[in-house]
């Protein structure tokens, strides 16, 4: 654990304010759910809750199936991080923070097909350095009860490759299926 040097008092309703700087750094917005943990030493730990993170094992298997079926790179994200990846080196994407562009697509609840949008694939993670401008990409948000909780991303391995309508439907089906699993 890392000390922040910030001390807050609990008010008469049992609330505590998380400082703006910490919320900004951890990308916690108003209304975001937080999980509460305790440890043996009496510490309270708050962690941003990821509903799709509970399905991480299932999401990993689903990403592997997508990658094998399509021959492309498959990623499944929650609102903040990549939780499953297959078809490429896991260390390039897995558990990395999602990019602002991908976060915006999820917030807008819109699908994205790079070959329909100026031939530019958006970065999946914040720290992507390689040029994906010629790679095809399809992104569909995972929607549960009208809220976006993550996304399914299919990215071509080869430059100048196009995603067909079949790949778009596969990603759409995957996102819809994962959303349905979260409602159960």
CA 181/CA 178 separation, integer angstroms: 5
CA 114/CA 14 separation, integer angstroms: 48
Domains, in order of start, for the chain: 9-49 (2.10.260.10), 52-183 (3.30.450.40)
CA 139/CA 174 separation, integer angstroms: 11
* pLDDT by residue, tens only, the chain of 184 residues: 777 788 889 999 999 899 998 888 888 888 888 888 888 988 888 887 777 766 778 889 999 999 999 999 999 999 889 999 999 988 889 989 899 999 999 999 999 998 765 667 888 998 776 555 557 899 999 999 898 999 999 998 887 788 889 999 999 999 999 988 877 6
Q: Measured at the alpha carbon of residue 151, what is the angle toward residues 149 and 153, in degrees to the nearest 5?
A: 170
**Contact, 133 vs 140, CB < 8 A?**
no
């Amino acid at each position: 654990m890392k000390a922040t040097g910030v001390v807050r008092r609990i008010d008469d309703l049992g609330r505590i304010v998380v400082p703006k700087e910490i919320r900004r750094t951890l990308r916690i917005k108003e209304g975001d759910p937080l999980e509460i943990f305790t440890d043996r030493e009496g510490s309270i730990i708050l962690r941003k809750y990821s509903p799709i993170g509970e399905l991480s094992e299932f999401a990993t298997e689903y990403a592997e199936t997508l990658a094998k079926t399509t021959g492309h790179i498959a990623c499944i994200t929650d609102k903040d991080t990549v939780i499953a990846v297959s078809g490429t080196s896991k260390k390039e994407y897995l558990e990395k923070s999602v990019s602002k562009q991908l976060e915006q697509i999820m917030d807008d609840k819109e699908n994205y097909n790079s070959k329909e949008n100026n031939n530019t694939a958006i970065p999946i993670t914040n720290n992507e350095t390689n040029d994906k401008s010629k790679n095809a990409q399809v992104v569909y948000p995972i929607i549960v009860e009208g809220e976006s909780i993550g996304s399914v991303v299919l990215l071509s391995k080869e430059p100048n490759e196009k995603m067909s309508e079949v790949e778009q439907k596969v990603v759409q089906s995957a996102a819809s299926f994962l959303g349905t699993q979260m409602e159960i």
